[in-house]
């Protein structure tokens, strides 16, 4: 039952992240993702075998204290942007912005749900699964925000760092992208990823405090 609640939230969160990248890239002048059918909330074009299925399944199977993964990266041709730097920065923050909005919206919906159950107790039997999904949406999307802002190429945070570095260092930094998956695996195996994701825990705690205060 827990997996059945996790999977839809996980998939929607990943898809929303990549959809945001694709939509903003299209708006900035790059039609690549649009032409490949990625400006859509249909999950099928966004599914990545390793990041969307294998990694989350392994974490669920091992009762990991956190759940993470990713969808198929959206292909971006940044030279198509009307303004390269502006377009690249906006596309980079689009995904984490989508996840942040989902987390905040889920927090607000949780508050509404609590008040709805108090006003109509007959709704209570149906509220449990909805509450579980909202709690997962809050924690998962805050984790995705912080995870994707880590300055490890090719994560979104690395794109933001790239634009503030001197050109020579920036080119070297971008070259680290070929080792990005290895770095991620090392962070995961060593447990360092849990430490790096501490801001997500702080955001979750803030969300819980807001829910308690409002209800």
Taking the alpha carbons at both ends of the chain, their separation in whole angstroms is 27
Half-sphere exposure of 190 (CA within 13 A, CB side): 10
Q: Is 177 known to be catalytic? A: no
Q: At what angle do helices 84-119 and 124-148 cross, to 10 degrees?
A: 160
CB 11 within 8 A of CB 43: yes
Max Cα distance, the chain (Å): 64
CB 173 within 8 A of CB 102: no
pLDDT of residue 66: 64
Q: Which of 18, 167, 177, 205 is catalytic?
A: 18
**Alpha helices for the chain (secondary structure H):** 2-27, 32-35, 55-61, 84-119, 124-148, 156-162, 167-175, 180-190, 192-196, 198-214
Q: What pTM did the predictor assign? A: 0.88
Within 10 Å of residue 204's Cβ, how many Cβ atoms? 19
Distances (CA, A) of 64 to 12, 60, 137, 140: 20, 6, 17, 13
Nearest alpha-carbon partner for 145 in 86, 89, 204: 204
pLDDT of residue 67: 67
Q: What is the pLDDT along the chain (215 residues), one digit of tens a residue?
A: 466 788 889 889 999 999 999 999 999 999 999 999 999 999 999 988 888 888 888 877 777 766 667 788 899 999 999 999 999 999 999 999 999 999 999 999 999 999 888 888 777 777 888 899 999 999 999 999 999 999 888 889 998 898 888 888 888 888 877 787 788 778 777 878 888 889 999 999 999 999 999 87
pLDDT of residue 95: 96
């Amino acid at each position: 039952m827990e997996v059945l609640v996790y999977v839809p939230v996980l998939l929607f969160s990943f898809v929303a992240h990549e959809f945001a990248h694709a939509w903003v890239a299209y708006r900035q002048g790059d039609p690549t993702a649009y032409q490949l059918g990625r400006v859509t909330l249909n999950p099928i074009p966004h599914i990545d075998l390793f990041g969307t299925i294998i990694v989350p399944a392994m974490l669920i199977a091992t009762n990991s204290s956190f759940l993470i993964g990713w969808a198929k990266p959206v292909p971006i041709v940044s030279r198509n942007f009307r303004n390269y730097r502006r377009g690249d920065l906006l596309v980079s923050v689009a995904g984490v912005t989508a996840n942040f909005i989902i987390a905040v919206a889920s927090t607000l919906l949780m508050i509404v749900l609590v008040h709805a159950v108090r006003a109509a107790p007959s709704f209570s039997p149906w509220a449990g699964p909805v509450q579980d999904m909202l709690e997962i949406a809050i924690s998962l999307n805050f984790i995705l925000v912080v995870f994707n802002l880590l300055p490890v190429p090719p994560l979104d945070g690395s794109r933001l760092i790239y634009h503030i570095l001197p050109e020579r260092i920036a080119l070297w930094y971008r070259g680290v992208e070929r080792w990005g998956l290895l770095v991620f695996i090392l962070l995961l195996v060593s447990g360092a990823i849990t430490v790096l994701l501490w801001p997500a825990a702080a955001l979750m705690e803030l969300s819980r405090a807001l829910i308690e205060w409002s209800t």
